[in-house]
Amino acid sequence: MTRPTFSTIQAMEILDSRGFPTVRVFVELSNGIRASASVPSGASTGENEAVELRDQDQNRYFGKGVCQAVTNVHQLIAPALLGMDPFDQALIDQQMIAIDGTKNKSKLGANAILGVSMAVAKAAAKASHLPLYRYLGGAGTRRLPVPCMNIVNGGAHADNSVDFQEFMAVPIGASSFCEGLRAVAETFHVLKSILNQRGLSTGIGDEGGFAPNFSSNEDAIETIIQAIEQAGYKPGEDISLALDSAASSFALKENGEYDLNRSGAGRMDRGQLIKLAGSWIDKYPIISWEDPLAEHDWEGFQQFTARYGDKIEVVGDDIFVTNTEYIARGIKEGSANSVLIKLNQIGTVTETIEAIRMCREAGWRYFLSHRSGETEDTFLADFSVAMDGGHLKSGSASRSERIAKYNRLLEIEQELGTTAMYYW
Ligand code: PGA
Ligand code: ZN
């Protein structure tokens, strides 16, 4: 059998779930197989993320167009990759990194590079007649992630009185992915009726969670716990909570303090914020806490992890940006015990897998994640199963760009049948 090679690589500008441009890439192989992939986009981005190339042409989409990234795929990436073997994922990614030549992918754009990188993986999976999760994960692939469903949105993802960005319901006690998904989706619907009864808004934020004006951050947590109970589940046993403070978004640049001004909780220093988190960990069934401190506050992360790391998963997102350079420092300094994994923070499939490898070797967990700006692409669902990560966040039980990933996981679970595994 002659191995297929790339015959066409094309890109176009599409819209993400917030209505802003992003990149979609199409590839075709010499045997006629086609695949496409679409790139997500964040709002509370870490400073050291790979660069999402935007046109800065104020006459189009307020400067957010991605025509240059599309052109880069056509003029700089495609000529180098045509004729290459789609099974050479690492070599292809390496090639694009070399053409880019910058540390943060600012020449080609991480959006251009990742679109191609994901499309390559999809084409190779099709060419080997395997589902993407099995192609990327291998013969032993059988574990579904626990869906950490973001049912209350705050911070940069909503215009409400909640400082912390994400409040997730985590179905740790379920026997399968579909039962877990049902538990948290039911909780989401009960939460809606509780908010209605209280006269609070049931409008949703960027990731599909409710975004009302709670009286405090604690009120948000307590209302979710009430929803879990009313839905017939036991908090801490059936469903636990995961938080993403996204603390970089309320950190003050000038003095390293934190300003919880949306809720009116006011300013506090690192020590006070860590103490506040501790009182919540004692009081509420919190199992995982992401970005409890800002991306520059390495010392704060270290203190937080030293105090609570044996009780909960401490996840670094903005601080590590899926980059092995920062993850290595975190492992050395004990800054966390888990890494949030976002493909577009680093910009290639291969480097994302490297980040995960580093976590595994250190005995750290890793938490697969969508972005707040998403598309209908379900790559992440297959990727999460392939990486055996154990948990995933893909937003709430609303907005089709979020549900598409959960639905794809339902399909995968059905395909795996009795061989499917599920646990926290
Ligand atoms: P983002 O948010 O996609 O807007 O960066 C997700 C997160 O902070 O985890
Ligand atoms: Zn985050």
Amino acid letter, residue 50: A
Q: Is the CB of 369 under 6 A from ligand 1?
A: yes
**Beta-carbon neighbours within 5 Å of ion ligand 2:** 244, 246, 317
CATH for the 143-422 domain, from 3.40.50.1980, 3.20.20.70, 3.20.20.120, 3.30.70.360: 3.20.20.120
pLDDT at 125 over 80: yes
Interval 44-62 mean pLDDT: 97
Pick from 317, 334, 276: which is nearest to 48 by CA?
317
Model pTM greater than 0.75?
A: yes
Ligand 1 binding pocket mutation candidate from 321, 342, 345, 396 (most atoms within 8 A of CB):
342
- Judge if the beta carbon of residue 46 lies within 6 A of ligand 1: no
- pLDDT at res. 1: 65
Q: How confident is the model at residue 389 (pLDDT cuts 50, 70, 90)?
A: confident
From the CA of 291, how far away is ligand 2's center (Å)? 6
Nearest ligand by distance to the CA of 157: 1
Residue showing tokens 């888990």? 338
CA atoms within 13 Å, Cβ hemisphere of 400: 4
Instruction: State phi, psi for 27 to the nearest 5 degrees.
Output: -125, 150
Specify the 3-state DSSP secondary structure of 45: coil
pLDDT digits (tens, 9 = 90+) for 269-289: 999 999 999 999 999 999 999
Ligand 1 atom nearest to CA at 291: 8
Count of residues for the chain? 424
Average pLDDT of every residue of the chain: 97
Domain ranges within the chain, ordered by starting residue: 6-129, 143-422
How far is the centre of ligand 1, averaged over its atoms, from the C-alpha of 166 (Å)? 9
Assess whether 105 carries a catalytic annotation: no
Q: Rounded CA gap, 209 and 42, in Å?
A: 16
Residue 114, φ and ψ in degrees, nearest 5: -65, -40
Q: φ and ψ at 261, to 5 degrees?
A: -85, -20
CA of 396 from ligand 1 middle (Å) equals 14
Residue 110 Cα to ligand 2 middle (Å): 19
Q: Kindly give the number of the ligand 1 atom that is closest to the alpha carbon of 157.
A: 4
- Using CA of residue 362, residue 366, residue 371, residue 372, what is the dihedral sign? negative
| Matching residue, tokens 């994922």 | 89
* Top mutation candidate among 243, 338, 371 for ligand 1, by most atoms within 8 Å of CB: 371
Condensed to tens digits (0 to 9), the pLDDT of residues 290-335 reads: 999 999 999 999 999 999 999 999 999 999 999 999 999 999 999 9
Instruction: Quote the DSSP letter at residue 204.
Output: B
Lowest mean pLDDT across 43-47, 129-133, 310-314: 43-47
Given the CA of residue 318, which atom of ligand 1 is nearest to it?
8
In the reported structure, the alpha carbon of residue 192 is separated from the centroid of ligand 1 by a whole-number distance in angstroms of 23
Q: What whole-number distance in Å separates Cα of residue 248 and Cα of residue 293? A: 7
Task: Kindly give the number of the ligand 1 atom that is closest to the alpha carbon of 40.
Answer: 3
What distance in angstroms lies between residue 242's CA and the mean position of ligand 1's atoms?
14
Q: Is the CB of 322 under 6 A from ligand 1?
A: no
Instruction: Name which residue sits closest to atom 1 of ligand 1, judged by CA.
Output: 42
Q: Note the ligand closest to the C-alpha atom of 395.
A: 1
Q: Tell me what pLDDT residue 2 has.
A: 82
Query: In angstroms, what is the C-alpha Rg of the chain?
Result: 21
Read off φ and ψ for residue 24, nearest 5 degrees. Answer: -120, 135
Cα(371) to ligand 1 centroid in Å equals 5
Pick the catalytic residue from 28, 52, 186, 207. Answer: 207
Q: Which residue has the tokens 């509420």?
A: 284
DSSP letter, residue 161 = S
Question: Strands 143-144, 421-422: parallel, antiparallel or unpaired by DSSP?
Answer: parallel
Residue 44's pLDDT band (cuts 50, 70, 90):
confident
**Catalytic annotation on 207?**
yes
Q: Is 89 in the pocket of ligand 1 (CB under 6 A)?
A: no
DSSP β-ladder status, 166-170 and 240-244:
antiparallel
Sign of CA dihedral 101, 135, 381, 147: negative
43: Cβ below 6 Å to ligand 1? yes
CATH entry 3.30.390.10 includes domain 6-129: yes
Phi/psi of residue 365, nearest 5 degrees = -90, 170
Catalytic residue among 342, 354, 401, 405: 342
d(CA 160, CA 67): 33
pLDDT tens digits for 152-197? 999 989 899 999 999 999 999 999 999 999 999 999 999 999 999 9
